[in-house]
């Protein structure tokens, strides 16, 4: 072989050639365009179509957005400003309506001197949620709680909150921040107390009502501690029955008596003053908090071995899933009075919350049932093999895994329920979307304004729902335990 | 070893009802049963007492009284002199119309958007992501109101179409007119009308419709027979005869013959006086509701379709190509059967959701069953209990029918295991 090359001039390059520039078609933006937009005839046509759609949208709506007016007292004034600035016949968005009616959209018809109360309740909500939502992420928790503290206190000052309540909010929020740095699980106590506190802040009235409600479980716990040495069965029954009896029989009277001895009242606000996002968020949060536990119970009941329990759960779930939420809301507003003892008449928001909770609990149950079914059978058998009883097996082994699997479904049920809170408009409550926008349009100054209120409310809903879905993705990543 | 028999059952003691697992579930169920019965008794008893206190009874006799209100859009003949029952049926049919139209359109939109979101084309994928996220994260009611407002606020009034140089013009080759009160669409007309079959109660079916339905069903059966024959030939000889042209002919030729026989043609709406006539003037409530439901549910279906396609691993299509299947058959025989298995169950619940969401028709004044039975009838007769119970029963039955039908389909496409 060496002969063949014997006569050739040996040439070995001893330095590397500098890398040649890639052809223009294969580098930079051109390459990206070629690969992502014009990789074939079909793709090219699609791209052109897409560009046309975008162009259509921009050409039709850009001038409307560009000519936004934020400062005006009425629609006619708005149009006048637009005509002055951009010439006769120019179109423009009149966001001034949002600016002027901001309080109405946020608080509904809540008394304006008490706006600080829902604001404080909303701020404290984040403190109550912190140990549940951000228990394992100190960085995020610090940011969330810090921002909440600053914003809540700032807003309360701006809204003219009394000094005593400012101090209260500051102590709770800053104290909560400090506690969360030491041991975040301690905040769970606050999370448990929060619902009663929130109800009291929103509706006002005597503080003894929520306190007496709280006394029920305390009495039950005392009964359990006292009777436990005697018989565990009697203790459990007593711990369940005594709070019920207390609530039905004595709580109301005790609250009235206590109020007579020592008045702990803040001004009461009736349910018909609620409206706007305050109403949506109240119903949404209450529904979310109540429907998850109810959904878990229903899902477990539907997978139970006990025939009666199982069939009751199936009937309930299928019934609720088979009818529209509007029908259930009409049941709440029209029929509930038929089903309760004559003369009872309870709050419309509470009725709506009950119906929304039942509705989303049925969907939740199906989502969680999917999670339970997806769990390998070995997990159940392992729990049995360890000798755990039913509730311990569910609590320690089955549910943590099943709930983790069903997080996306649970969160999309939450999102669906939050969106459905707009349907309360049909039972005469002031939701931000329809009733509030109608109310705004009913005034002479904003007659005929359609797009701006809808776009504004839609944008807020989008932010909240999109935020929830992003949080569920974060949670999924955080809880992922498998190695991929 | 001989005495290793099963231990004798211990004598029954009452405490075993709680501590023995064999009896505990029975005890628990009995307690639940008693509690549920007590609750039911309490509710029924309250209802009876409340009704008595109000001087009302519980009967459905009001359904046969004169309704006395008009319904703008009626699929079957209806006047205000008809009964509440007929009004409820009209409402039910309206619900069905918008639900079925919505399901069909949403499926198309969803499939297109779901596939497009997976496209290699950067722009199209981003546009579809924006569409899906925008519609999924905003309440349906908002979309219904916005679409309705587009129709009522932006579309021109009917008389804008008048004159030699009209301010507005019809779209789709002068066949559809979008106005601020209704959408005028063409109707089907026949030059050779065979008359109608009268079912009584002023419900009629045109013989031509019946003929078309029969021909289509017959064609479908013949197509299946052709398929079975092709399968037999393939089993025997190993080569499958080309059948697509036979199937196509069986499905289309009889229909085309019927169209020629009856002289079927479109009759475009035209402006006569103040309004469009000749075509069908569809109430904007229906169009807005239909569009909004389609786009909203379409966004959800897009996500379902996308998840279904992603669920089929790449190895499946590669294996199919390695076996020498052509792309069309790969899609039909390998990818779709597996993707459908993932897609169908959530798709069923989206159809159910669409049907239930159509009750938002009250926001745009479209008279569905919520608007007739649960709205005007309820308000006029004051029969809340009966109306709402009946309405919920109707929705429940519809839901059960849809899910039963789709479950049958699902059991046919689902993976047969062991």
A190-204 confidence digits (pLDDT tens): 888 888 888 888 888
pLDDT greater at residue A2 or residue A287: A287
At residue B105, the pLDDT reads 95
- For CA atoms B153, B155, B160, B162, give the dihedral sign: negative
B282, B183 contact by CB (below 8 A): yes
3 state SS of A75:
helix
Pick left, alpha or beta for residue A371 (phi over 0 → left; psi -120 to 50 → alpha; otherwise beta).
alpha
**Gap between the Cα atoms of A123 and A153, Å rounded:** 9
Cβ contact, residue pair A327, B121, below 8 Å? no
Beta bridge partners of B196: B206
Instruction: Check B139 against A433: CB less than 8 A apart.
Output: yes
pLDDT in tens, A357-373: 999 999 999 899 888 88
A94 class by beta-carbon count within 10 Å (0-12 exposed, 13-18 middle, 19+ buried): buried
Say how far apart CA B332 and CA B311 lie, in whole Å.
Answer: 16
Contacts of A50 in chain B (CB under 8 A): 121, 123-124, 127
Radius of gyration of chain A (CA): 30
Contact B47 A233 (CB under 8 A): no
Residue A282 in contact with partner chain B when CB distance is under 8 A: no
Residues in chain A with CB shorter than 8 Å from the CB of B32 are 308-309, 312
> What residues contact residue B293 under an 8 Å CB cut-off, 6+ apart?
B98, B102, B106, B140, B144, B354, B357, B358
The pTM assigned to this predicted structure is 0.86
Judged by CB atoms closer than 8 Å, whether chains meet at A323 and B138 is answered as no
- Picking from A330, A391, A438 by the largest number of B CB atoms within 10 A of its own CB, the best residue to mutate is A330
- The minimal CB distance from B137 to the residues A339, A434, A465 is found for A465
- pLDDT-derived band of residue A473, with 50, 70 and 90 as boundaries? confident
Res B1: pLDDT: 47
Residue numbers in chain B where pLDDT is lower than 70: 1-9, 163-164, 167-168, 172-173, 413-418
Q: Which tokens go with B304?
A: 């379902």
Residue of A55, A304, A319, A450 to mutate, testing the B interface (most B Cβ within 10 Å of its Cβ):
A450
In chain B, which residue's Cα lies nearest the Cα of A414? B137
CB B386 within 8 A of CB B62: yes
Q: Is A390 within 8 Å of chain B by CB?
A: no
Among A420, A451, A462, the residue with its CB nearest the CB of B137 is: A462
Answer whether B78's CB lies under 8 Å from B71's CB. yes
B-interface mutation test, from A32, A37, A339, most B Cβ less than 10 A away: A339
Contact B124 A433 (CB under 8 A): no
Tokens of B280: 């069908």
- Among the partner-chain residues B121, B356, B370, the one whose CB lies closest to the CB of A43 is B121
φ, ψ of residue B20 to 5 degrees: the values are: -95, 125
CB contact under 8 A, B388 and A335: yes
Interface contact flag, B149 A451, Cβ < 8 Å: yes
Q: In the 3-class helix/strand/coil scheme, how is A32-56 assigned residue by residue?
A: HHHHHCCCCHHHHHHHHHHHHHHHH
Question: Could you read off the pLDDT of A380-392 as tens digits, one per residue?
Answer: 899 989 988 888 8
B392–A327 CB contact, under 8 Å: yes
Tell me the two tokens of residue B223: 């197509």
> What value does the mean pLDDT take over residues A23-37?
80
Cα atoms in the Cβ-side hemisphere of radius 13 Å centred on B226: 17
CB-nearest partner of A339 from B47, B146, B356: B47
C-beta of residue B377 within 8 angstroms of C-beta of residue B88: yes
Which residues of B are less than 8 Å from A460 in CB distance? none
Neighbours of B309 (CB within 10 A): 19
pLDDT digits (tens, 9 = 90+) for A253-290: 888 888 788 777 888 888 888 888 999 999 999 999 89
pLDDT average, residue stretch A233-252: 82
Residues A135, A185 contacting (CB under 8 angstroms): yes
Contact residues, chain A, for B360 at CB < 8 Å:
326, 423
B120/A43 CB distance under 8 A: yes
A367 vs A405: CA distance, rounded Å: 10
The mean pLDDT of chain A is 86
CA–CA distances in Å: residue A329 to residues A8, A112, A358, A421, B141: 95, 29, 11, 10, 15
Q: What is the pLDDT of residue B108?
A: 93
The answer to whether A480 faces chain B, any CB pair under 8 Å, is no
In this structure, the dihedral spanned by the alpha carbons of residues A430, A435, A436 and A440, taken in order and rounded to 10 degrees, is -140
Taking CB atoms and an 8 Å limit, are A54 and B127 in contact across chains?
yes
Given a cut of 70, whether residue A7 has pLDDT beyond it is: no
Which two three-digit tokens encode residue B90? 């009209």
Residue B322: phi and psi, rounded to 5, are -60, -30
Optimal mutation site among B137, B148, B342, B363, interface A, most CBs of chain A within 10 A? B137
Q: Where do we find the tokens 């975008």?
A: A54
| Token reading at B157 | 């009034």
What length does chain B have?
Answer: 418
Helix (H) or strand (E) holding B204: strand B204-206
Whether residue A384 contacts residue A377, with contact meaning beta carbons closer than 8 Å, is answered with no
- Distance from the Cα of B45 to chain A's closest Cα (Å) equals 8
Residue B275, strand partner residues: B272
CA atoms within 13 A on the CB side of A4: 1
- Placement of tokens 């259930």 in the chain: A328
Contacts of residue B387 in chain A, CB cutoff 8 Å? none
B-contacting residues in A 214-243 (Cβ below 8 Å)? 233
Looking only at the bridges linking them, the beta strands covering B196-198 and B204-206 are antiparallel
Residue B290 and residue B250 in contact, taking contact as beta carbons nearer than 8 Å: no
Mean pLDDT of A403-421: 89
| Chain segment A318-332, per-residue pLDDT in tens | 899 889 999 999 888
**Residue range A62-102, pLDDT digits in tens:** 888 888 888 888 888 888 888 888 877 778 888 888 888 88
User: How far is the C-alpha of B162 from the C-alpha of B274, rounded, in Å?
Assistant: 9
Picking from A324, A335, A360 by the largest number of B CB atoms within 10 A of its own CB, the best residue to mutate is A324
Minimal C-alpha gap between A367 and chain B (Å): 11
ipTM higher than threshold 0.90:
no
Nearest CB neighbour to A308, from listed B32, B53, B391: B32
Residue A189 above 70 pLDDT?
A: yes
Query: What is the token pair recorded at B92?
Result: 């039910």
Question: What is the nearest CA distance from A36 to chain B, expressed in angstroms?
Answer: 5
At CB < 8 A and 24+ separation, what contacts does B36-43 make? B36/A312, B43/A339
pLDDT tens per residue, range B36-64: 999 999 999 988 888 888 888 888 888 88
Task: Give the residue-averaged pLDDT of A294-307.
Answer: 90
CB contact under 8 A, A415 and B138: no
Task: Test B145 with A451 for CB contact under 8 angstroms.
Answer: no
Q: Which residues of A touch B399 (CB under 8 A)?
A: 321-323
Any idea which residue has 């009452």 for tokens? B14
Give the tokens for residue B396: 């429940």
């Amino acid at each position: 072989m060496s002969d063949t090359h014997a006569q050739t001039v040996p040439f070995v390059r001893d330095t590397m050639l500098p890398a040649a520039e890639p052809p223009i078609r294969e580098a930079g933006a051109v390459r990206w365009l070629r690969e992502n937009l014009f990789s074939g005839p079909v793709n090219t046509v699609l791209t052109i179509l897409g560009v046309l759609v975008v162009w259509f949208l921009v050409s039709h709506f850009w001038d409307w957005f560009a000519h936004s007016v934020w400062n005006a007292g009425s629609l006619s004034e708005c149009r006048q400003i637009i005509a002055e600035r951009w010439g006769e016949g120019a179109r423009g968005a009149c966001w001034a309506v949002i600016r002027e009616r901001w309080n109405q959209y946020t608080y509904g018809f809540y008394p304006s001197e008490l706006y600080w109360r829902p604001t404080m309740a909303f701020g404290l909500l984040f403190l109550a949620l912190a140990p549940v939502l951000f228990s394992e992420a100190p960085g995020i928790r610090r940011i969330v709680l810090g921002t909440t503290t600053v914003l809540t206190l700032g807003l309360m000052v701006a809204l003219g909150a009394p000094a005593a309540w400012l101090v209260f909010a500051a102590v709770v929020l800053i104290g909560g921040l400090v506690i969360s740095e030491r041991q975040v699980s301690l905040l769970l106590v606050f999370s448990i107390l929060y619902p009663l506190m929130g109800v009291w802040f929103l509706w006002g009235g005597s503080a003894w009502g929520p306190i007496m409600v709280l006394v029920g479980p305390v009495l039950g716990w005392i009964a359990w501690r006292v009777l436990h040495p005697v018989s565990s069965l009697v203790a459990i029954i007593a711990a369940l029955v005594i709070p019920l009896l207390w609530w039905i029989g004595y709580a109301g009277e005790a609250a009235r008596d206590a109020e007579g001895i020592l008045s702990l009242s803040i001004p009461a606000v009736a349910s018909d003053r609620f409206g706007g996002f305050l109403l949506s968020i109240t119903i949404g949060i209450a529904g979310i908090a109540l429907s998850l536990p109810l959904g878990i119970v229903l899902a477990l009941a539907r997978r139970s071995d006990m025939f009666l329990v199982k069939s009751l759960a199936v009937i309930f779930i299928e019934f609720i899933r088979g009818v529209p939420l509007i029908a259930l809301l009409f049941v709440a507003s029209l029929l509930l009075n038929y089903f309760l003892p004559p003369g009872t008449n309870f709050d419309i928001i509470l009725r709506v919350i009950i119906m929304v909770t039942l509705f989303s609990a049925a969907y939740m149950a199906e989502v969680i049932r999917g999670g339970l079914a997806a769990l390998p059978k070995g997990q159940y058998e392992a729990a049995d093999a360890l000798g755990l009883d039913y509730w311990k097996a569910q609590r320690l082994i089955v549910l943590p895994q099943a709930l983790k699997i069903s997080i996306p479904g649970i969160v999309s049920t939450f999102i669906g329920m939050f969106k459905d809170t707009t349907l309360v408009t049909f039972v005469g409550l002031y939701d931000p979307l329809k009733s509030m926008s109608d109310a705004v349009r009913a005034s002479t100054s904003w007659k005929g304004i359609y797009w701006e209120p809808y776009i504004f409310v839609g944008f807020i809903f989008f932010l909240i729902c999109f935020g929830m879905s992003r949080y569920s993705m974060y949670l999924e990543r955080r809880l992922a335990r498998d190695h991929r | 070893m001989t005495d290793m028999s099963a231990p004798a059952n211990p004598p029954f003691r009452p405490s075993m009802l709680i501590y023995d697992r064999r009896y505990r579930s029975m005890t628990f169920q009995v307690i639940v049963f008693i509690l549920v019965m007590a609750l039911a008794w309490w509710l029924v008893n309250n209802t009876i007492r409340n009704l008595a206190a109000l001087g009302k009874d519980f009967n459905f006799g009001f359904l046969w009284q004169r309704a006395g209100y008009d319904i703008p859009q009626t699929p079957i003949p209806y006047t205000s002199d008809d009964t509440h029952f007929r009004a409820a049926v009209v409402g039910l049919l309206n619900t069905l119309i918008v639900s079925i139209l919505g399901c069909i359109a949403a499926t198309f939109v969803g499939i297109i958007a779901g596939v497009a979101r997976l496209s290699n084309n950067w722009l199209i994928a981003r546009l579809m992501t924006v569409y899906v996220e925008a519609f999924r994260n905003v309440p349906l009611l908002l979309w219904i109101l916005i679409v309705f407002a587009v129709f009522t606020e932006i579309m021109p009034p009917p008389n804008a179409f008048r004159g030699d140089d009209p301010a507005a013009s019809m779209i789709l080759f002068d066949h559809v007119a979008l106005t601020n009160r209704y959408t005028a669409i063409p109707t089907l007309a026949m030059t050779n009308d065979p008359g109608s079959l009268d079912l009584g109660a002023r419900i009629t079916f045109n013989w031509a419709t019946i003929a078309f339905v029969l021909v289509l069903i017959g064609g479908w059966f013949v197509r299946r027979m052709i398929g079975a024959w092709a399968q037999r030939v393939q089993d025997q000889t190993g080569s499958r005869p080309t059948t697509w042209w036979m199937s196509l002919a069986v499905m289309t030729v009889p229909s085309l013959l019927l169209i020629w026989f009856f002289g079927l043609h479109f009759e475009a709406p035209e402006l006569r006086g103040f309004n469009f006539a000749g075509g069908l003037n569809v109430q904007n409530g229906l169009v807005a509701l239909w569009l909004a439901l389609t786009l909203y549910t379409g966004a959800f279906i897009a996500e379902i379709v996308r998840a279904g396609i992603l669920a089929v691993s790449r190895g499946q299509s590669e294996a199919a190509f390695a076996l020498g299947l052509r792309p069309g058959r790969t899609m039909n025989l390998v990818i779709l059967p597996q993707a459908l298995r993932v897609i169908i169950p959530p798709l069923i619940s989206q159809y159910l959701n669409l049907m239930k969401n159509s009750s938002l028709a009250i926001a745009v004044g479209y008279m569905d069953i919520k608007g007739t039975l649960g709205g005007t009838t309820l308000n006029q007769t004051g029969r809340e209990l009966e109306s709402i119970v009946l309405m919920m029963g109707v929705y429940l039955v519809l839901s059960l029918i849809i899910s039963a039908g789709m479950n049958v389909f699902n059991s046919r496409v689902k993976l047969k295991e062991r």
